[in-house]
Amino acid sequence: MAKNNSNIKRVVVTGMGVVTAIGTGLEEFWANLSAGKSGVSLIDTFDTSKHGSKIAAQIKDFDPADFMDFKAAKRMDRFAQFGVAATALALKDSGLKIDSTNENYTGVFIGSGIGGLLTLEAQHQVLMERGADRVSPFLIPMIICNMAAAQASIFSGAKGPVSTATTACAAGSNSIGDAYEVIKRGSAKVMISGGAEAAITPLGMAGFSNMNAMSTRNDAPQKASRPFDRDRDGFVMGEGAGVIILEELEYAISRGAKIYAEIFGYGMTGEAFHMTALEESGVNVVRCIKNCLNEGGVSVDEIDYLNAHGTSTPLNDIVESAAVATCFGDHIRKLNVSSTKSMHGHCLGAAGAIEAAATIMAIKNDLIPPTINLDNPDEKCGPLNFTPNKVLKKTVNFAVSNSMGFGGHNVTVGFKKFEG
């Protein structure tokens, strides 16, 4: 059973904001996730004639002016705009007001794997075509990865710890886990945490596509992201942001906050193996999950749901599946696993945060979101229950979310139903 150590500060989730291809705002996101709706389509913002992969989970109806000052938005790259928008949504959802009474112990950790790629490409074109003197003076503060966190801090008025994880596709999860540890040790009472990314650009798509990492199922975009399916052929790029508000339990109770869930653990391991690939035994992923569970004193038999990294790439899905099977043993007969990337795409540095929101909503609603497009389960991914194609009603008391990033960054974050 889970431990209850009264000497350790408890950390709870009090608000969430998401900006994704399947919905902006928690309600729309969760409704479409539960319905198994795909957000993938043909890219329509630039010429993809020379790109192998011509599809992505694009956000098509985003207007930054709905969330922030228009002039401020003009000085932000799209990824930072997403981060500020998700922050605005999360703060509204939490009912938290940041003012002189709490600004110094409210912090911001928002990660990003790539940062302002859209601005970088546009300004490089200006340099090549119009000369160095025409490059924007805002180039540098628009492209650096910390600007989603920095702009969210400026927007919200949070003056506590502010930082950015850049651990590739694990950045969102690292940011949540790091924020959890900051509150646990007493360095903040509230943390705005998550990830933001906007890499659906000509260069971003070309780079990943030429690695043969992306799906080329261009004739059927909504069927292209198919984690754990034997016909998968790569991941589908997504974009967006996820932000969750973490609070010290006593502070959350003192202000009458609603509580979605409690965070119980945070695991990290390194692969020390390859720039882009996981070590095939999965032993380092197993250690990561166990580190998370051990921190919270939670046994493998207590976990009801695992939100997988599940990228829809051939090797990653096999290694992660093997690791989950090894870690959970006989409990895999009762464990539900799913990859929501099948719907919102792989949002890189924002992925872990968006998937954390999905995991928390699974706990809140006692519903397991499906892995869509799982028509022919790959035998190499083993006997796991990947919750194919349809949402499942099931009591979810404990859940974990996995993330893995290029360079060998493994992260697991654990959540549980809140009990006062």
- pLDDT of the residue at 7: 61
Note the pLDDT tens digit of each residue in 300-317.
999 999 999 999 999 999
pLDDT at 6: 53
Residue 4 lies in a domain: no
Under the banding of pLDDT at 50, 70 and 90, the label for residue 346 is: very high
Task: Report yes or no on 260 lying in a domain.
Answer: yes
Just list the catalytic residues.
169, 309, 346
Whether the pLDDT of residue 420 is over 90: the answer is no
Summarised one tens digit per residue, pLDDT across range 178-190 is 999 999 999 999 9
pLDDT score of 406 more than 80: yes
Q: What is the pLDDT of residue 9?
A: 92
**CA nearest 230: which of 68, 333, 373, 48?**
373
pLDDT band per the 50, 70, 90 thresholds, residue 3: very low
Q: In this model, does residue 2 exceed pLDDT 80?
A: no
Query: What is the percentage of the chain residues whose pLDDT exceeds 70?
Result: 98
Q: What is the mean pLDDT of residues 33-42?
A: 98
pLDDT of 11 strictly over 60: yes
**Are the beta carbons of 90 and 243 closer than 8 angstroms?**
yes
| Single-letter code of the amino acid located at 389 | N
Expressed as residue numbers, the domain containing 44 is 12-406+416-420
Q: What is the pLDDT of residues 149-187, one digit of tens each?
A: 999 999 999 999 999 999 999 999 999 999 999 999 999
Torsion angles phi and psi, residue 323, rounded to 5:
-65, -45
CA distance 200 to 187: 36
pTM value is 0.96
- Would residue 350 count as lying in a domain? yes
Q: Is residue 1 part of a domain?
A: no
pLDDT by residue (tens digit) across 55-66?
999 999 999 999
Instruction: Report the mean per-residue pLDDT for the chain.
Output: 96
Angle at 411 between CA 162 and CA 167, to 5 degrees: 55
**DSSP characters over 332-383:** GGT-EEE-THHHH-B-GGGHHHHHHHHHHHHHHHTEEPPBTT-SSB-GGGTT
pLDDT digits (tens, 9 = 90+) for 71-130: 999 999 999 999 999 999 999 999 999 999 999 999 999 999 999 999 999 999 999 999
Tens digits of residue pLDDT in 219-251: 999 999 999 999 999 999 999 999 999 999 999
Query: Which residues on neighbouring strands pair with residue 269, listed in sequence order?
Result: 410
Straight-line distance from the first to the last Cα atom of the chain, in angstroms, rounded to the nearest whole number: 16
The CA distance from 312 to 351, in Å, is 14
In-domain check, residue 3: no
| Percent of residues, the chain, with pLDDT higher than 90 | 96
Type and span of the H or E element at 116: none
Asked if residue 181 belongs to a domain, the reply is: yes
Q: What pLDDT shows up at residue 381?
A: 97
Q: What is the CATH number of the domain that holds 90?
A: 3.40.47.10
CA dihedral 286, 292, 298, 300 (to 10 degrees): -20
Residue 252 falls inside a structural domain: yes
> For the chain, how many structural domains are there in total?
1
SS3 call for 262: strand
pLDDT score, position 1: 44
Q: Residue 4 above 70 pLDDT?
A: no
- The answer to whether residue 241 sits within a structural domain is yes
